[in-house]
A and B are shown apart, each in its own frame.
Chain A
Amino acid sequence: MAECHPVGFQWVMEAKARGAKVIHVDPRFTRTSAMADVHVPLRAGSDIAFLGGIINHVLRTGAYFREYVAAYTNGPVILREDFRDTEDLDGVFSGLDPEGRGYDPATWQYQGVDVQAASGQRDPQFDRRDASAPDVSDAAHGESHGSGGATIPEGRPESDETMTHPRCVFQVLKRHYARYTPEMVERICGVPQDVFRQVCDMVTENSGRDRTTALAYAVGWTQHTVGVQYIRAASVLQSLLGNIGRPGGGILALRGHASIQGSTDIPTLFNLLPGYIPMPYAHRDQRLDTFVRADAAPKGYWGNMRAYLVSLLKAYWGDAATAENDFCFDYLPRLTGSHSTYETVMAQLDGTCKGYFLMGENPAVGSGNAKLQRLGMAALDWLVVRDFSLIESATWWKDGPEIETGELRTEDIGTEVFFLPAAAHTEKDGSFTNTQRLLQWHHQAVRPPGEARSDLWFTFHLGRIIREKLAASTDPMDRPLLDLTWDYPTSGELAEPDAEAVLAEINGRDADGNPLSGYDQLADDGSTSCGCWIYCGVHAEGVNQADRRRPGGEQDWVAAEWGWAWPANRRVLYNRASADPEGRPWSERKALVWWDAERGEWTGHDVPDFQKGKAPGHRPPEGASGPEALSGTDPFIMQDDGKAWLYVPSGLTDGPLPTHYEPQDSPFPNLLYGRQRNPVRHLLRPPHPDNRYQPSGGEPGSEVFPYVATTYRLTEHHTAGGMSRWQPYLAELQPEFFCEVSPELAAERGLEHTGWATIVSARAVIEARVLVTDRMPSLTVHGRRLHQVGLPYHWGPNGYSTGDAANELLHLSLDPNTHIQEAKALAVDIRPGRRPRGPAAPELVRRYRRRAGIDEETGTAM
């Protein structure tokens, strides 16, 4: 955090000054470790074993927050009799389909009730929830559909408040984590037992009624074949300790881009519509109502999904969207599997995808298996790159690594490339959503130089020109474009669209065109429009709430009048959980919101994340739906059952409980189960010669790649370098690519400090300057010494500060839920000296593959 979010780290230091203890768990020693009370280096890729060990400690010693767990989590809920855990099936859950390499999640459900997820994979429930609509065969791995039949039973799930029923979640959890002992943690993670126990004690002693513990992670946690389950493991731990929805608690994703939260909320993502409404998958005879019935949870705030979706369709298609035509629901394109950025590369290689826009993204350096990214671009008809400078993704056709090795020749590459200079944040109006869901407006200071333009300008005018060219078309495929509301006011000689007019559309309007003030006002009859329901209220009363700037010094610690947080300016999500079931703060020290019986409403320091007038004693009437179906003790209002999920009955592709599997490429066998890797990890298809996987664990050939590598960032650079390698100050501070290795590894391989090292995987070979340092300590794992190689991944050949791209080394075995690459743990070899040049470089990689006996099948076993 001190490295990558230094200014945010000041608050950790403030907390430390007031007595907080700081634990830093990271393979490398950083500026964060330097300020922490305890630094715990562990093997990259072993975090679920580590967190599972703490969960086991909490359950075994009874250190969990009993009242919180019983009242606010699904711990008491009883599971179906036919559910089988990894305990029963040696590392897999019931429902595994070996043919389709996916799970049927039907047996994971609660006894007697089907619940729908608030996020994640909602389509797999489609058939069970809408038996009338047979689905299209699925092209994606790990996204199998459920078996059809049953309707959704009414009522609350069966539960046991004493949490002693052998099939209740709490007991299943206890059994699942019993094998995650301190001895196992030591052997798998390389964390000595006394250090591990110290961490357990510090965390449990600092959790409960009077104290809370926060977990902060940088998004490296997501970059594993079990990435979502890393976050889930943190959720299980924090829910057990009562650390969610309370001040000083939570799981905080420290995200790395100014508006990466915003680009998830208003997603430029294949599987989502604005506000986490799922993109529809293809089903026969699917209509608006069948989609909503299948994908929306009937209870909690997702019970109103129809209102959110109809309001979005009205924002998109305006008057053309009517009740008679299903509000143009049919205009939405439909998915048949994963269409993630990595499938897009494969679609480029096979010729399906012909044109590609890169808007402020540098996949030739920043994406996993950077070579495949470039080969994909070389197969395109055309490519549009919008950026500040000539990044690697704009110039690979004349100076990329494949030109040097002779694998591509410039004159053979048919891709037409347009480079369009982009405007900077100082040259446009707009809002960023920061990592704590806070929208902040930035104002235009000056006009963009030359032909530089904002992405708002580019997108608006591209749409305008396309619509003009198609204006006379009668082809039904063009109707969604021609019916689109696309009339934003523009100003100035550049004809820049008015960003605040777009924000007003995102906020939404009532039937008379007045701005809405909150998502409770959204209707499902077409009388309201709203571009992103969770952002409804950001333009309440026609005022740009994201531009509120009352100085922090004039406000209390919540600072509610700086910017605007979604939803409804609530700063801590699910904060009803900061009070006990009766509505009283768990302790005065940790008071955030509470029930004011006299006034009959929730009140407190923060905006309550709960229906304002719903008393703690409220019990919903029989047959209630939507928010009305939640009781006064259901704080997790987005959830179907209003509870924090220790166990996930629906929404994940790879199991209801986090389970330790080894990374795709690992020098070690899985000590906990007979299953080496996540059985339903997403292996990119078809197999590609430049995306070979490595032998792992005890498999012959795994000794060829004996070291674990992990990638990370530095304070002085920004992701793929497009915004930092061209800045002289930053280039001077971190002038070139380097790797961090321990003195032990340096001695073992003859690596010299400030000399060169060559690093090899089954995909690529790169070179880096060597930094021999105790910051990357060697560990004892599985009873032997393990050396790890640290690789900051900011570099490419362009700009002032240059070097090879660490992401060349990566494979594309992805998390099956999110389709994110495993950048944070892989096995490599390292040797002294510079890498070969020209055709000798790919020849070296081929030689390594031969030595390790690698073919198309290697590493693909389930």
Chain B
Amino acid sequence: MGVRTWIDSWPVYRQLKGTDPLGRGAAAKSGPSERLAPRVATADRVVKSVCPYCAVGCGQNVYVQDGRVTQIEGDPDSPISRGRLCPKGSASLQLTTGSAREHQVLYRRPHGADWERLDLGTAMDMIADRVIEARRAGWQWEVDETRTRRTLGVASLGGATLDNEENYLIKKLFTAMGAVQIENQARV
């Protein structure tokens, strides 16, 4: 390191000579902090998204690196949110990538004391069998001699952070099953 570089790297000197007389920005930066880059800078892609919490609908930018979500930030382009996120929206990264998320199907058999593992395909097959059976058990062609063509054997209660397309399929399938007890958070 030359003398010149040594003097230049001295914060007080930079503060006096440079554009940062209060020493709050460039003058106070050390070499390591100078070299710090936000984790979003190295992202492979930015994916446009929408916050999944409340119904304001703030825009989110989802940063992806090596096939993993590395950061979620507000989308400045959104005329709704102008780049802001609230504490919940800012916690979206923990929501989506946090260790509290379950990644495996779990099964509790009748009267069982604890969870057991079950693979997804088996679970889907078992659930389909149970739907068919409960649907049949609760079937009502008529009530008071008036046609109802329905089942009261199967019910569903959905949240309301589901996508429109998901709700559409749920309502379509369950209606075709004859189920009427199809509900969501909007009732609650």
Contact = CB atoms under 8 A, between A and B. Distances in A.
A716 B88 contact: yes
Contacts of A343: 181
Contacts of A426: 47, 49, 62, 69, 72, 92, 96
Contact of B105 (A7, A8, A434, A451): A451
9 contacts: A258-B52, A262-B167, A419-B105, A434-B57, A444-B47, A477-B149, A502-B169, A531-B172, A549-B48
A424 B120 contact: no
B156 to A, nearest CB: 4
Interface string A408-440: 001111111111110011111011111110111
Contact of A733 (B82, B87, B96): B87
B158 A360 contact: yes
Given A435-B55, A456-B163, A477-B178, A727 B91 contact: yes
Contacts of A254: 54-56
Contact of A729 (B50, B87, B180, B185): B87
A615 interface: no
Given A268-B183, A333-B175, A425-B96, A506 B165 contact: yes
Interface string B70-85: 0010001111111011
Nearest 6 pairs between A and B by C-beta? Answer: A552-B79, A360-B159, A430-B163, A450-B103, A434-B57, A333-B150
Interface of B: 45, 47-60, 62, 64, 67-69, 72, 76-82, 84-92, 94-96, 98, 100-111, 113-115, 118-120, 123-132, 134, 136-139, 141, 143-188
Given A449-B103, A549-B59, A820-B188, 11 more contacts: A7-B56, A270-B180, A355-B130, A387-B102, A414-B110, A415-B110, A417-B107, A421-B101, A426-B72, A440-B57, A484-B173
Contacts of A344: 155, 157, 181, 183
A659 interface: no
A136 interface: yes
Contact of B168 (A410, A466, A532): A532
A92 interface: no
A389 B102 CA distance: 5
B158 A352 contact: no
A785 interface: no
Contacts of B103: 421, 449-452
A724 B54 contact: no
A367 B162 CA distance: 18
A384 B127 contact: yes
B78 A552 contact: yes
B80 A724 contact: no
A432 B170 contact: no
B128 A333 contact: no
Contacts of B55: 5, 254-261, 434-435
Contacts of A503: 164-165
B169 A460 contact: yes
B170 A268 contact: yes
Contacts of A339: 152, 180-181
B182 A462 contact: no
Contacts of B56: 5, 7-8, 254, 434-435
Interface string A383-398: 0100111100010011
B157 A443 contact: no
Contact of B113 (A358, A411, A434, A502): A411
A612 B30 CA distance: 64
Given A470-B132, A502-B168, A330 B149 contact: yes
Contacts of B181: 270, 339, 341, 343-344, 347, 353
Interface stretch (A82-90, A241-249, A278-286, A595-603): A278-286
Contacts of A427: 96
A314 interface: no
Contact of A718 (B53, B60, B120, B175): B53
Interface string A260-297: 11111111111001100001001110100000000000
Contacts of A425: 49-50, 52, 96, 161
Contact of B161 (A10, A258, A394, A555): A258
A499 B165 contact: yes
Given A354-B137, A506-B164, A398 B102 contact: no
Interface in A484-505: 484, 486, 497, 499, 502-503, 505
B102 A421 contact: yes
A677 B84 CA distance: 44
Interface centre among A269, A459, A466, A562 (most CB of B within 10 A): A459
